[in-house]
Chain A
Amino acid sequence: MKDFLIIGAGITGAFIARELAKYDVDTVVIEKESDVGNHATLANSALVHSGHDPEANTLKAKLCVEGNAMYPDLAETLEFPLLKSGGLLLAGDDERKALMDKYRNALDNNVPSVRWFERAALLEREPGLASRVAAGLDLPTTMVTFPWEVAIAAMENAIDNGVAFHKNTEVTRIDQESEGFAVHTDRGVFRAEYVINAAGAFAERIAAMAEEEPPFRITPRRGEYMVLDRRNEGLIKHALYPVPSEKGKGVLITPQTHGEILLGPTNTAQESLEAVPTTKQGMERIKTGAGSLLEKIPYEETIRTFAGVRASSSHEDFYIQPSKADERFIHVGGIDSPGLTAAPAIAAYVVDTFIRPRRPLDSNPHFNPKRKTKPLYKTLDDVDKNARFKADGRYGRIICKCERITEGDVVDHIGRTLGATSVKGVKKRARAGSGLCQGGYCEGEIIKVLAREHGTSPLDIDYYEQGTPIFLKETKVKP
Chain B
Amino acid sequence: MKHFDIAVIGGGAGGLAAAEKADRLGMDVVLLEREPFLGGILNQCIHHGFGLHHYKEELTGPEYAMRAIDDIERSGVTIKTDTTALDYKKLGGRFTIRYTNAEEGERTIEANAVILTSGSYERTAGGIRLPGERPKGVHTAGKAQRYLNIEGYMVGRKVFILGSGDIGLIMARRLTLEGAEVKGVAEIKPHPGGLTRNVVQCLHDFDIPLYLSHTVTDVRGDENLEGITIAEVDDAMQVKEATEKHFEVDTLLLSVGLIPDIATLGDVHYAIDPRTNGAIVDQTYQTTQDGLFAAGNALHIHDLVDFVTEESLRAALQAAAYVKGEVPPREKQVDVVTGETISYALPQRLNGDYLDKSVTFSLRSRHAYEKGTFLIKQRGETIERFKRRFINPAEMEHLVVEGGRIARGSGVEIILEGSS
Interface residues of chain A, those whose CB is within 8 Å of chain B, are 226-227, 231, 274-280, 283, 302-306, 382, 385-386, 389-390, 393-398, 401-402, 404, 406-407, 436-441, 443-444, 458-459, 462-465, 467-476, 478
Q: Is the CB of B263 within 8 A of A231?
A: yes
Q: Is the CB of B105 within 8 A of A303?
A: no
Instruction: Tell me, in angstroms, the Cα distance from A472 to B144 when the chains sit together.
Output: 12
Smallest Cβ-Cβ distance to A468: which chain B residue: B136
Q: Is the CB of B223 within 8 A of A468?
A: yes
Contacts of B82 in A (CB 8 A): 397
Contacts of B133 in A (CB 8 A): 275-277
Q: Is the CB of A475 within 8 A of B122?
A: no
On whether A472 and B104 interact (CB within 8 A), knowing A277-B132, A302-B126, A438-B126, the answer reads no
For B86, give its contact among A404, A438, A441, A464 (CB under 8 Å): A404
Q: Is the CB of B86 within 8 A of A471?
A: no
Instruction: Tell me, in angstroms, the Cα distance from A439 to B139 when the chains sit together.
Output: 10
The stretch of B150-158, B337-345, B385-393 in contact with A is B150-158
Smallest Cβ-Cβ distance to B259: which chain A residue: A436
Contacts of A277 in B (CB 8 A): 131-133, 218-219
On whether A226 and B129 interact (CB within 8 A), knowing A389-B106, A396-B100, A468-B136, the answer reads yes
Smallest Cβ-Cβ distance to B144: which chain A residue: A470
On whether A471 and B153 interact (CB within 8 A), knowing A274-B222, A438-B124, A444-B146, the answer reads yes
Q: Is the CB of A398 within 8 A of B84?
A: yes
Instruction: Tell me, in angstroms, the Cα distance from A394 to B101 when the chains sit together.
Output: 8
B314 on the A face (CB < 8 A): no
Contacts of B129 in A (CB 8 A): 226, 278, 280, 283, 302, 305
For A440, give its contact among B124, B130, B136 (CB under 8 Å): B124
Interface-centre pick from B124, B125, B157, B224 (highest chain A CB count, 10 A): B124
For A463, give its contact among B136, B143, B152 (CB under 8 Å): B136
Q: B218: shortest Cβ distance to chain A, in Å?
A: 7
26 of the cross-chain contacts (CB-CB < 8 Å) are A227-B126, A275-B133, A277-B132, A278-B131, A278-B132, A280-B131, A283-B129, A302-B127, A303-B124, A304-B126, A393-B103, A394-B102, A396-B103, A397-B84, A398-B34, A401-B84, A401-B264, A438-B125, A444-B151, A458-B153, A465-B136, A467-B224, A470-B139, A470-B155, A471-B153, A476-B152
Contacts of B154 in A (CB 8 A): 471-473, 475
Q: B225: shortest Cβ distance to chain A, in Å?
A: 10
Contacts of B125 in A (CB 8 A): 438
Interface residue tally on B, bucketed by range: 35 or more
On whether A474 and B105 interact (CB within 8 A), knowing A278-B132, A303-B127, A397-B100, the answer reads no
Instruction: Tell me, in angstroms, the Cα distance from A404 to B98 when the chains sit together.
Output: 13
Contacts of B124 in A (CB 8 A): 303-304, 437-438, 440
Q: Is the CB of B102 within 8 A of A396?
A: yes
B178 on the A face (CB < 8 A): yes
Q: B18: shortest Cβ distance to chain A, in Å?
A: 20
Q: Is the CB of B153 within 8 A of A472?
A: yes
Q: B9: shortest Cβ distance to chain A, in Å?
A: 12
Q: A135: shortest Cβ distance to chain B, in Å?
A: 33
Contacts beyond the supplied A276-B133, A280-B131, A404-B86: 11 A-B pairs with Cβ under 8 Å: A274-B222, A275-B133, A277-B131, A277-B218, A389-B105, A401-B84, A443-B143, A465-B136, A472-B154, A475-B148, A475-B152
Instruction: Tell me, in angstroms, the Cα distance from A473 to B250 when the chains sit together.
Output: 13
Instruction: Tell me, in angstroms, the Cα distance from A231 to B265 when the chains sit together.
Output: 12
Question: How many inter-chain residue pairs (CB < 8 Å) link A and B?
Answer: 140
Interface residues of chain B, those whose CB is within 8 Å of chain A, are 34, 82, 84, 86, 100-106, 121-122, 124-127, 129-136, 139-140, 142-143, 146-148, 151-157, 178, 217-219, 222-224, 239, 259, 261, 263-264
Smallest Cβ-Cβ distance to A478: which chain B residue: B152
Q: Is the CB of B140 within 8 A of A475?
A: no
Instruction: Tell me, in angstroms, the Cα distance from A398 to B147 when the chains sit together.
Output: 19
Contacts of A406 in B (CB 8 A): 100
Q: Is the CB of B122 within 8 A of A385?
A: no
Contacts of B178 in A (CB 8 A): 475
Instruction: Tell me, in angstroms, the Cα distance from A401 to B84 when the chains sit together.
Output: 8
Contacts of A474 in B (CB 8 A): 152-153
Contacts of A227 in B (CB 8 A): 126
Contacts of A396 in B (CB 8 A): 100-106
Q: A305: shortest Cβ distance to chain B, in Å?
A: 5
Contacts of A436 in B (CB 8 A): 121, 259, 263
Q: B247: shortest Cβ distance to chain A, in Å?
A: 17
Interface-centre pick from A303, A382, A436, A478 (highest chain B CB count, 10 A): A436
Contacts of A382 in B (CB 8 A): 106
Smallest Cβ-Cβ distance to B222: which chain A residue: A274
Instruction: Tell me, in angstroms, the Cα distance from A71 to B211 when the chains sit together.
Output: 52
Contacts of B104 in A (CB 8 A): 396
On whether A471 and B143 interact (CB within 8 A), knowing A305-B126, A438-B126, the answer reads no
